[in-house]
């Protein structure tokens, strides 16, 4: 999942307003940031799969450290402890929910490639097999969460810009033609996008309107 994770970031921002959006954005995408970094380091393996379905072009083959439920429970608990210690309990709760939410959104769409423990017991409800439905559901989730965040906010303009930009990149991912990409290229591209979105969220945090 892609922008759907940022929808969770918006909802957390609405509930825990004192936590900056950029940090929430990192938390909800932290698992993929880890995965793509691990792929570049040769620790985890994803492969390109030529497919007309835009959601099935990345096969995740070996992702025990970033995408197993067991690793995610440990990871989110560690995040909780760290932010409880350096900030307060609310920060710990919000950011650990952000981290853990990623796995639970991913299993809705992934096709049986999300391990429960290390590299075994793989699950996934496979919504991605129906790309149009998956696209509409994820996009609606994202837009609704953005609307919910901005509904009673006075900081609108920059957030609207962020929402539009994320929508465009999600749309262009969905509608882009099939093109051979190495796992390293896909990883660098994704990490760059996440960095840009985090920077934009920081820009939203700083804005007065």
Cα separation, 206 vs 209, whole angstroms: 9
Site size with Zn ion, rule: CB under 5 A = 2
- 118 sits in the region (left: phi over 0; alpha: psi -120 to 50; else beta) called left
Are 31 and 96 a contacting pair, CB within 8 Å? no
Cα separation, 192 vs 33, whole angstroms: 10
Q: Which of 12, 71, 106, 190 binds Zn ion (CB under 5 A)?
A: 106
Give me the least distance between CB of 13 and Zn ion, in Å please: 20
Stretch that binds Zn ion, among 93-101, 105-113, 129-137, 188-196 (CB under 5 A): 105-113
Q: Which residue is nearest to Zn ion (CB)?
A: 32
Locate 186 and state its tokens.
């896909």
3-state secondary structure (DSSP) of residue 36: helix
Locate 193 and state its tokens.
């996008």
Is 138 among the residues that bind Zn ion (CB under 5 A)?
A: no
Cα separation, 71 vs 85, whole angstroms: 21
- The 31-70 site mask, x for binding Zn ion (CB under 5 A), equals -x--------------------------------------
| Residue among 103 and 158 whose Cβ is closer to Zn ion | 103
| Residue among 30 and 204 whose Cβ is closer to Zn ion | 30
| Residue among 1 and 204 whose Cβ is closer to Zn ion | 1
Cα separation, 68 vs 27, whole angstroms: 16
Stretch that binds Zn ion, among 26-34, 42-50, 57-65, 140-148 (CB under 5 A): 26-34
Give me the least distance between CB of 151 and Zn ion, in Å please: 28
Interface residues with Zn ion (CB under 5 A) are 32, 106
């Amino acid at each position: 999942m892609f922008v759907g994770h940022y929808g969770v970031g918006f909802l957390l921002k609405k509930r825990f307003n004192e936590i900056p959006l950029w940090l929430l954005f990192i938390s909800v995408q932290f698992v993929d940031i880890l995965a793509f970094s691990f792929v570049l380091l040769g620790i985890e393996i994803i492969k390109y799969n030529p497919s007309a379905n835009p959601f099935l072009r990345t096969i995740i083959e070996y992702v025990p450290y970033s995408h197993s439920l067991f690793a995610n429970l440990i990871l989110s608990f560690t995040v909780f402890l760290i932010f409880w210690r350096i900030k307060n309990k609310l920060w710990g709760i919000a950011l650990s929910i952000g981290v853990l939410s990623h796995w639970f959104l991913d299993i809705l769409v992934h096709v049986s490639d999300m391990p429960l423990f290390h590299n075994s017991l793989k699950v996934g409800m496979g919504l991605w097999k129906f790309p149009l439905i998956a696209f509409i559901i994820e996009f609606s989730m994202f837009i609704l969460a953005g609307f919910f965040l901005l509904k009673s906010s006075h900081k609108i303009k920059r957030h609207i810009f962020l929402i539009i930009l994320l929508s465009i990149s999600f749309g262009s991912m969905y509608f882009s033609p099939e093109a051979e990409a190495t796992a390293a290229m896909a990883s660098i591209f994704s990490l760059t996008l996440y960095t840009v979105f985090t920077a934009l969220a920081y820009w939203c945090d700083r804005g007065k309107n």
